[in-house]
Amino acid sequence: MNTPAPTLTVSELARRVGVPVSTVRYYERRKLLAPKARSSGNYRLYSDASVERLRFIVAAKGAGFTLGDIQALLDFSDGAAAPCHDVQTLIEQRLASVAEQTKRLRQVKGVLNGWLEACKEAENNRRCEVLDGLKKGRSSRSNGVSKKKNNNSRKPA
């Protein structure tokens, strides 16, 4: 099979895929992408296959895969067989990670909502209970930032 010679510079590759040049270089350092050749001036040159590979990396990253996951996916993709079971395992692991992150984000959202409420309540007393609590190492409203006396505090989402 006769493939065209690599002719894209790093900046042309980055522009085609819509990423910064620094991203291309970072993926090169991580061994996810490699130039196909060098010019006479020692510039990195890439092919259309490099464009496809970089789009694959960007799409996988956007789907929440880690760079380690992406390396495994690229290894699978570069192989002769389609290892759907292995890809499924990676997806299941990533979903478990996303579920844990979501749980933590809900907790953070609850804390921030509580702090916002405390700030609104204390706006006129020229003293920020949130900052005072953080200085004392408190990370939630239940650890020292006062609640309204009528107990109308919001539930964390």
Q: Could you read off the pLDDT of 88-110 as tens digits, one per residue?
A: 999 999 999 999 999 999 999 99
Give pLDDT, residue 21.
97
Residue 1 has pLDDT above 60, yes or no: no
Give pLDDT, residue 62.
94
Give CA–CA dist 4/8, Å, rounded: 11
| Mean pLDDT, range 133-143, rounded to an integer | 68
Find the helix or strand (DSSP H, E) in which 37 lies: strand 37-38
Picking from 133, 127, 157, the residue whose alpha carbon sits closest to that of residue 145 is: 133
Picking from 96, 53, 101, 45, the residue whose alpha carbon sits closest to that of residue 73 is: 53
Residue 144 has pLDDT above 60, yes or no: no
Enter the tokens of residue 152: 């109308």
- Are residues 147 and 153 in contact, defined by beta-carbon separation less than 8 angstroms? yes
Instruction: Give SS3 for 103.
Output: helix
Give pLDDT, residue 151.
44
CATH 1.10.1660.10 fits 10-63, yes or no: yes
